[in-house]
Amino acid sequence: MSSEFGNILRVSVFGQSHGKAIGVVVDGLPAGEAIDLEELQRFLDRRRPGTGPLSTTRKETDVPEFLSGLEGGKTCGAPLCAVIKNADQHSKDYGELADKPRPGHADFTAWAKWGGHADMRGGGHFSGRLTAPLCVAGGIAKQILARRGIFVGAHLANYDSLLVLSHFKGHPMGGFGGALKNISIGIASSRGKQYIHGAGDMDKFWDADHDSFLEAMADAAWSVHDHFKGKAAYLNIMKNMSVDCDCCAVAADPKIGDIGILASLDPVALDQACLDLVYASDDPGKADLIERIESLHGVHTVEAAADLGIGTREYELITLD
């Protein structure tokens, strides 16, 4: 384990769980970037200990004190140094750990790495407590990236394959919702959802040009599909197909009958096949769903996704009994 990492941004964490303080130094931040400290604190509070039944009972406020790197609320070009003081340590609880390393912790690793001289109290430098200063660095970077239209949904990177289960139905903004909508807006972070809805301008969350919004969904779908490099599979469930999305508080009752379950490795072909099956249905209840799709130009998401090379609108429909 190294306490320093990064190339463009060089991040170094310091301190121990039961020391006087923990902290971080971030070198390489662009100068002149305004940092919203209240937003940063809200970000830190999401990991603050003692706030839930499954977290540690340790109570810490986790309010950072900036020693350098900020002037007048903006980065000044100097390395940014932030310190978080420790207040609720119970070191006596760890008195026997010097020669009794805990399973599932880094106690033995620390002992071996530093020849028995490691601070073992609360995990020392290897404690989860050190994620607090990492969140200071990450929260600041997140604000700077957001101004450049870059938003990160971190959990997706933890997986090397993806199975997408979508309820195919109408949608009051997209015309319909299927696989493409699910891997764009469905997977996006809250800020990412705003970015897609605003077609790149979050201030136009509800007012963006409609076709641009549909194309933004296709763009976002491309990024997810491309990330998995062929290791994604898609299923659309064509049952209980209301004209409204499942996210609507009170969705309209379905009028078209159930059609079935479709699967493909190509989300474009899958959504196109679902649209075709709605149009080909002999159920008179299809009229409302088709009106919803057409009134909002829903097929344009499929058109845009095909133009981006996510997949093809041509397909072979194989029926399984």
pLDDT for 192-248, tens place per residue? Answer: 888 899 998 878 878 899 999 999 999 999 999 999 999 999 999 999 999 998 888
pTM of this structure: 0.61
Would you state the structure tokens that stand for residue 247, as one six-digit string?
Answer: 């996210």
**Residue whose structure tokens are 């090379």:** 309
Cβ neighbors of 278 (< 8 A, separation 6 or more) are 238, 241, 256, 259, 286, 289, 290, 293
Distance in angstroms (rounded) separating the CA atoms of residues 304 and 296: 15
Distance in angstroms (rounded) separating the CA atoms of residues 254 and 231: 33
Contact 79, 72 (CB under 8 A): no
**Domains of the chain by start residue, with CATH:** 4-146 (3.60.150.10), 154-307 (no CATH)
- For residue 263, what pLDDT band results from cuts at 50, 70 and 90? very high
pLDDT for 21-54, tens place per residue? Answer: 999 999 999 999 999 999 999 999 888 766 556 5
